[in-house]
Copies of this chain bind each other. A is one copy, B any other.
């Protein structure tokens, strides 16, 4: 089994070591062995766990819900429905965010074209564009 130091994991996930210790305190990253002198020894399961933590956190899950999720995972099968409910909610949530983000990207693109044209008009001295011509466009 390959093992990792806290520095390895910190670099692998672009997370400060303090955050990894914090996740451990919060019981969302568990069963981390120590060397004789007390240094953390991470294993493949922690890498997998962290991938899930990052995935769920990024998409909006709180630490509290992560605690619940991993508690369910450890006490499966009694909590299989809790797991499925949490994952289904999250799936829904990510799907909604994807739809919203596409709209938000379109909004930013419109603004970008508008202000880009304003800059062009300013440097060329031509007439300034009007926002009403950008409002409903897709770029």
Contact = CB atoms under 8 A, between A and B. Distances in A.
Contacts of A115: 76, 80, 83-84, 87
Interface in A60-109: 76-77, 80-81, 83-84, 87-88, 90-91, 94-95, 97-98, 100-105, 107-109
A103 B133 CA distance: 35
Contact of A98 (B58, B84, B105, B109): B105
A85 B52 CA distance: 33
Counting every copy of the chain, the complex holds 2
Interface residues of A, number: 36
A119 interface: yes
Given A76-B118, A84-B119, A104 B94 contact: yes
25 contacts: A51-B107, A52-B107, A52-B111, A56-B104, A56-B108, A58-B100, A58-B101, A59-B105, A59-B108, A76-B115, A76-B118, A80-B115, A83-B115, A87-B108, A87-B111, A87-B115, A88-B112, A91-B109, A91-B112, A94-B101, A94-B105, A94-B108, A97-B101, A98-B98, A98-B101
